Chain A
Amino acid sequence: MQINGATALIRALEDLGVKRIFGIPGVQNIEIYDALLASHIEHVLVRHEQAAVHMADGYARATGGVGVVFATSGPGATNTVTGIATAYMDSVPVIVITGQVHTTSIGTDAFQEADITTITLPITKHSYLLKDVDALVPAVFEAFYLATSGRPGPVLIDIPGNVAAAETSYHKPSAAPTLPSYKPTIKGNARQVKAAAELIAAAKWPVLLAGGGVVSSNASKEVLALAEQAQIPVVTTLMAKGVLAAAHPLLLGQPGVYGTPQANAALHEADLIIAVGTRFSERATADADHYAPRAKIVHIDIDPAEIGKNIRVDVPIVGDAATVLGALSERLEKTRRPVLQEGESLAATSLPSSSSSPEAPPGVSAEVPVEAPAKAPAEAPAEAPAKAPANNGLYLNTTHRVFSVFNELLKACEDVIITTDVGQHQLWASHLLDASKPRKFLTSGGLGTMGFGMPAAIGAQLAFPESLVVCISGDGSFQMNVQEMATAVDLKLPIKVAIINNHSLGLVRQWQELFLEHRFSHTLLANTPDYVKLAEAYQWQGRRIDTKGEANNLKDNLRWLLKSEGPALLEIVVPTPDLVEPMIKPGGTLTELV
């Protein structure tokens, strides 16, 4: 039976199991939207295409599935660019399907023409400009396969209006696409796995560094198994927050420029780092030339191009995180571990006494209760991190107190998903809010996209209607996709937004304070809107508290936010000078704090 390209597209999406599409119609995807009317696929009408991609991205991050976006040609397509780049940097499977001007008009600077496949070349895993309607269905199946396999990432499909209108027939491909030039390696090389196991068995100060690839691969179970089996402390990058439950004794927190002192100290002093699904970004390594100077490095990644890109590697293993970690655990059992046989944890027995090794990692010893702690706390070196996170009742500043109180309340709630925007509030959230599981802390790590948080919360809430979805935002970030408040109302989504308002583009302001002698060039946002009125205008509930005057109401208002019906917003005014601490000096190693 002959159907048009648009109908074939929708049928392909149905057969691929797509339940929801985020987008905005326009002239060049009008046929696609017409075909969508006959489908059971739900459509989320957004207010800006960038937000559509963030929603699809948030949906994909929260579920582990694929997010799908429709946008029209020209500005519709170019509006998706920041969203696509965000997904690309964090390896999130998103399919963006754009309209394009008619094939006969391509190249003529027609109305709403933009060469979106070329524009997005550096930020997509692959892309298609479909000039032949018969190529459409195979391309869609191939696009989904590419987006979700290997190292996941966004794929763009550009469909000219006349191709969507042209006649074709629909045949569901009987098998997964085979691409001779694309065959991701899943299983790690056995010899390399053996080499890694031997290094682990011999290591005194191993650290397991888990990145976003662990989440993509759903390998948290394997990380936990290996960590517990060999008693290896675990460091989770921003992208891997939640891979180990916040309360797990082996968890040292986040590495890098804004990392925890214990994580950074452990990496800096380690004699072995087992890095899994992480790309050693410069935010995570700080000074890459002096990164982990004593450590041998085992790097497990499904993307061979990440291995050796930023950091030297001793044992490279290309493969899927879960598969390789499973093999590693199995191999490790065979390589007899004396430490485990004595019923002691590696971390405990390897703690050097302060006299024999004065440069011992303060973090590991001081912070990690291990299973056999006989020697551990007593022999902890005295120089505990000077600026420990505020979890002992001593807050570094007012904002830390806000987050700590917030964390207590969130911990008491069930099934919480946190999204963040980008800036100081993001780092406070990553430091001070707990995530009990992976896919429960969604943040733009690689690109650092302000405006990600609320759309991502909408995507996550759609996927998990019963969850408590909380977006932590800032006064700078929130205004970058504020229009999506309307989308949340359309969908009756009870998302909660906490705006940490310090009346500034705070993280840049912090850099100006610390490194540019307090020259605050254009970072102060004196005239923020009245967020309570804004909430009202969008039919949200809104409240505002000032931590100066109403400190005691903090808890009540946070509780109100979490318990309120429907979408709700709480503006929390905090002091502008509050800093994200601790922080590594620009250009410094992981132990050189500001």
Chain B
Amino acid sequence: MAEHTLSILVDNKPGVLTRVTGLIARRGYNIESLSVDKTEDPRLSRVTLVTTAEDVPIEQIKKQLHKLINVHKITELTPEDSVDRELALFKVKAATDKRPELIKLTEVFKAQVIDVAADTLTIELAGDHNTIAQLEELLSPYGIVEVARSGKLALPRGNW
């Protein structure tokens, strides 16, 4: 099942996200991840959406999205011509004797410890999907208590 990343510029108005996600769902696509916020123009929001479907060609979804009056522009981003980042927060069990190892691991990944508690550390990592998955794998033997992950953010490479 092919994964597609769509960067969609929409009106920054109430209800617009419902229109976008509702349409994707009812036209047979799954939403794997989603992130939304204002752009450099406060009238517009950027929806970055990772989506998959078995039967419906991506062109069809793009055309349907274009029919929404609040959708201004749709760009399909491929790994070759775009940069992308996800953010993950891992709360990990961290007994005193394990802490040096965990902090070392954090440094290797250029991650940060953003909270230290009596028996846990919370580690923040921004990176691509695979790097985050890798860190998650390495952290799991220590005991991951909770994870929060953002959707993918992406922009095309190069000049405007």
Contacts and interface: CB of A to CB of B under 8 A. Distances in A.
A118 B66 contact: no
Contacts of B33: none
Given A121-B19, A122-B23, A304-B63, 18 more contacts: A121-B18, A121-B22, A121-B23, A122-B22, A122-B26, A125-B67, A126-B69, A129-B14, A129-B15, A146-B69, A179-B69, A181-B70, A182-B69, A305-B64, A305-B66, A305-B67, A308-B60, A309-B60
A122 B20 CA distance: 11
Interface in B1-35: 11, 14-15, 18-19, 22-23, 26
Interface in A170-213: 179-182
Nearest to B26: A122
Interface in A98-134: 117-118, 121-122, 125-126, 129
B17 to A, nearest CB: 12
Interface residues of B, number: 19
10 contacts: A121-B18, A121-B19, A129-B15, A180-B72, A181-B11, A181-B71, A181-B72, A305-B66, A308-B59, A309-B60
**Those 8 A-B pairs whose CB atoms lie nearest each other, nearest first:** A305-B63, A181-B72, A126-B69, A305-B64, A182-B69, A304-B63, A121-B22, A122-B26
Interface string A140-151: 000000100000
A287 B18 CA distance: 34
Contacts of B63: 304-305
B19 to A, nearest CB: 6
A132 to B, nearest CB: 11
Contacts of A121: 18-19, 22-23
A308 B72 CA distance: 22
A305 B67 CA distance: 8
B67 to A, nearest CB: 6
Contacts of B64: 305
Contacts of A305: 60, 63-64, 66-67
B67 A303 contact: yes
Interface residues of A, number: 17
A307 B7 CA distance: 23
A117 B60 contact: no
Interface string B25-64: 0100000000000000000000000000000010110011
Interface of A: 117-118, 121-122, 125-126, 129, 146, 179-182, 303-305, 308-309
Contacts of A304: 63, 66
A505 B23 CA distance: 33
B55 to A, nearest CB: 12
Contacts of B22: 121-122
Nearest to A142: B69
Interface of B: 11, 14-15, 18-19, 22-23, 26, 57, 59-60, 63-64, 66-67, 69-72
A117 B14 CA distance: 12
Nearest to B61: A305
Nearest to B19: A121
Contacts of A125: 67, 69
A125 B66 CA distance: 12
B39 to A, nearest CB: 14
Contacts of A303: 67
**Most B CB atoms within 10 A — which of A129, A180, A305, A309?**
A305
Nearest to B63: A305
A304 B59 CA distance: 10
Contacts of A146: 69
B69 A181 contact: yes
A118 B69 CA distance: 15
Contacts of A308: 57, 59-60
B59 to A, nearest CB: 7
Contacts of B15: 117-118, 129
A118 B18 contact: yes
A208 B71 CA distance: 34
A117 B19 CA distance: 10
A288 to B, nearest CB: 13
B149 to A, nearest CB: 28
A186 B15 CA distance: 29
A314 to B, nearest CB: 16
B118 to A, nearest CB: 41
A503 to B, nearest CB: 37
Nearest to A307: B63
Nearest to A310: B60
A89 to B, nearest CB: 14
Contacts of A180: 72
A409 B67 CA distance: 45
B23 to A, nearest CB: 8
Contacts of B70: 181
Contacts of A126: 69
A129 B16 CA distance: 12
A179 B64 CA distance: 17
Nearest to A306: B63
Contacts of A182: 69
Contacts of B60: 305, 308-309
A182 B60 CA distance: 18
A304 B64 CA distance: 9
A305 B22 CA distance: 17
Nearest to B62: A305
Contacts of B71: 181
Contacts of B23: 121-122
A304 B26 CA distance: 19
A303 B60 CA distance: 12
